[in-house]
Amino acid sequence: EMSEMSERSKQNVAHGLAWSYYVGYLKIVLPRVKKSMEEFSRANPNVLACRETWKLHILVPLSCDFYDDLEKADSNIQYLMDLAETTMTRAGTKKRVYKHSLYTIRDEDNKLWHCVVEYATPLQSLYAMSQDECAAFSREERLEQAKLFYRTLEEILRGSKECAGTYRLIAYEEPGEAETHFLSREILWHLRQQQEEYALSEGNQPHTPSTTLHSTELDLQISESDLPQPLRSDCF
């Protein structure tokens, strides 16, 4: 009876997707990300100046809708190159390849920033379900599931020793009206925050201090009681 109730309310969808994403992908690739970036930095010492940004930046759009090509999403985001590939045999596939792309982000002053960034791919499943009549998944349910996916993934990664210091979750809700460079500004905000954290950890004053608190960070604060629970709309 409990299983049927949970299935009807779709509480298990986002929770399962988050765990699958972690176990089947992030737990494999994240421990290798920093090593790949260290190798790249040795060959290109002037590109990745701030070690605090040597992470996989995972985009979590709460709409669950996104471009496969980041350059089409925002012209201030440009592909630079791929990091070294990781090859392993998995689930019957010989020499399965895992790789990440390094991007250049141009800010409002034409300064170039660099980071490894990609979307959280399970969100495509949530979006597809909301478009499929068989899933009976409404837009409102999709939004709640996206929030639950974020909260669950955040909690999982926070407790993972293997993945500590290797990722940055960037959850955001797109503005009502289209903004040409909204995505690049979201990423830049996080890069600047990490730069400040790095500068402070080194005992220096931050180079680019932030004077405002980011709205997304306010909206997505996590409490210990939030995970996992029945879907709620009052957390955001």
With respect to residue 229, please indicate whether it lies within any of the assigned structural domains: no
pLDDT tens-digit map of 113-123:
999 999 999 99
With respect to residue 217, please indicate whether it lies within any of the assigned structural domains: no
Maximum Cα–Cα distance for the chain, whole Å? 60
pLDDT tens-digit map of 167-201:
999 999 988 777 889 999 999 999 999 888 767 76
Q: How many domains does the chain have?
A: 1
pLDDT tens-digit map of 118-139:
999 999 988 888 776 666 677 8
With respect to residue 135, please indicate whether it lies within any of the assigned structural domains: yes
Provide the residue type at 220 as one letter. Answer: L
With respect to residue 212, please indicate whether it lies within any of the assigned structural domains: no
- What CATH number does the domain containing 129 carry? 3.40.50.12100
Q: What residues make up the domain containing 146?
A: 7-203
With respect to residue 73, please indicate whether it lies within any of the assigned structural domains: yes
Q: Out of 9-18, 22-31, 61-70, 178-187, which region has the weakest mean confidence (pLDDT)?
A: 9-18
Report DSSP letters for 60-97, one per residue.
EETT----SSHHHH-TTEEEEEEPPPEEEEETTEEEEE
How far apart, in whole angstroms, are the C-alpha atoms of residue 9 and residue 151?
18
